[in-house]
């Protein structure tokens, strides 16, 4: 069920500098913790076993994250999490409670990543997500009811390939494949044939229909959602669709 998402900035507990831990590393006594923002973001994790699985992010700061996943993780385990604008991001499990895990990042996130996560959370909350991995934003050209990103994701899964394996076969980076599947980037035209070959389809199977029923309504809703997140008006939001 789609859930409208928003950010809440959580102030440090008390006045002593100690903060209650909701995710990420335990803060040092006397040292203020980075503000933690609450959201609902569906993304993908790659774990020490080499497996990939969907991950639900419940809150996020520059240094830590609280997430939920069906994969059983151990304290101290290091894994990679895909985040908007950052791609594969290394994190370490600090504490665990059932399916919830508090994790610390190897390197602090930038404000751009936090803002992009906020935008992705808002769009996903309006549009819904795939069970195993984040669903690309719907404001893209469709191919028989799927966006290009959704089709690449589905065909990759059918071939039993990880994002890293597909990237290696195409000579691109794993974050590039992630961006395609997220709808954040589109493969260059010269690479479409190679993608189709690796995925076992014809090039035409990756080309969108020119006219998609309801597309204008989807674009309008996304424009309103983006305007709300960045605190502007819908008429100042421009959405470009590459066919």
Mean pLDDT along residues 92-100: 86
Candidates 75, 77, 74, 82; CA nearest to 57 is: 82
Tell me the pLDDT band of 176, cut-offs 50, 70 and 90.
confident
Asked if residue 7 has pLDDT above 60, the reply is no
Mean pLDDT of the 237-242 span: 74
pLDDT bin (cut points 50, 70, 90) of residue 42 is: confident
Is there a domain that residue 221 lies in? yes
- pLDDT for the residue 239: 79
- The reported pLDDT for the residue numbered 123 is 59
pTM: 0.43
- Residue 122 is predicted with a pLDDT of 62
Q: Report the CATH number that the domain containing residue 33 is assigned in CATH.
A: 2.40.10.220
Q: Looking at the structure, do residues 176 and 142 belong to the same domain, yes or no?
A: yes
Is residue 201 one of the residues assigned to a domain? yes
β-pairing, 78-83 vs 36-46, is antiparallel
What percent of the chain shows pLDDT beyond 90?
15
- Give residue for tokens 């960045």: 230
Range of the domain at 94: 9-110
| E runs forming strands in 49-86 | 52-60, 64-68, 78-83
87 and 150 fall within a common domain? no
Residue 176 and residue 224 share a domain? yes
Q: What is the CATH number of the domain that holds 207?
A: 1.10.260.40
Q: Are residues 14 and 89 in the same domain?
A: yes
The first and second tokens of residue 94, run together, are 């600090």
Report d(CA 207, CA 192) in Å as an integer.
Answer: 9
> So what's the pLDDT on residue 72?
86
CB 73 within 8 A of CB 55: no
CB 184 within 8 A of CB 148: no
Q: At residue 171, what are phi and psi to the nearest 5 degrees?
A: 75, 30
Q: What is the largest CA-CA distance in the chain?
A: 62
Q: Are residues 146 and 59 in the same domain?
A: no
pLDDT in tens, 135-166: 443 334 445 567 788 889 989 999 999 988 99
Task: Please tell me whether residues 170 and 228 are part of one structural domain.
Answer: yes
Mean pLDDT of 30-54: 74
Do residue 164 and residue 218 come from a single domain? yes
pLDDT tier at 215 (50, 70, 90 boundaries)? low
Q: Which residue has the higher pLDDT, 106 or 203?
A: 106
Confidence of residue 187 (pLDDT cuts 50, 70, 90): confident
Per the domain annotation, does 117 fall within a domain? no
In total, how many domains does the chain have?
2
Q: Is residue 225 part of a domain?
A: yes
């Amino acid at each position: 069920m789609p859930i409208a998402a928003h950010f809440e900035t959580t102030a440090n507990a008390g006045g002593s500098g100690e903060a209650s831990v909701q995710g990420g590393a335990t803060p040092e006594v006397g040292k203020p913790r980075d503000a933690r923002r609450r959201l609902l973001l569906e993304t993908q994790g790659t774990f020490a076993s080499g497996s990939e699985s969907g991950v639900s992010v419940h809150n996020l700061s520059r240094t830590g994250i609280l997430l939920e996943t069906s994969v059983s993780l151990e304290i101290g385990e290091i894994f990679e999490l895909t985040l908007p604008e950052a791609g594969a991001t290394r994190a370490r499990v600090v504490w665990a409670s059932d399916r919830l895990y508090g994790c610390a990042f190897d390197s602090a996130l930038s404000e751009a990543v936090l803002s992009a996560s906020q935008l992705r959370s808002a769009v996903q909350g309006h549009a819904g997500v795939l069970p195993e991995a984040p669903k690309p934003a719907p404001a893209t050209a469709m191919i028989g009811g799927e966006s290009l990103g959704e089709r690449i994701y589905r065909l990759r899964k059918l071939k039993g390939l990880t994002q890293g394996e597909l990237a290696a076969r195409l000579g691109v980076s794993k974050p590039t494949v992630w961006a395609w599947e997220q709808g954040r980037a589109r493969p260059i035209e010269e690479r479409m044939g190679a993608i189709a070959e690796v995925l076992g389809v014809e090039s035409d199977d990756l080309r969108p229909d020119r006219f998609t029923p309801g597309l204008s309504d989807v674009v309008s809703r996304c424009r309103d959602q983006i305007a709300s997140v960045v605190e502007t008006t819908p008429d100042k939001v421009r959405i470009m669709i590459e066919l």
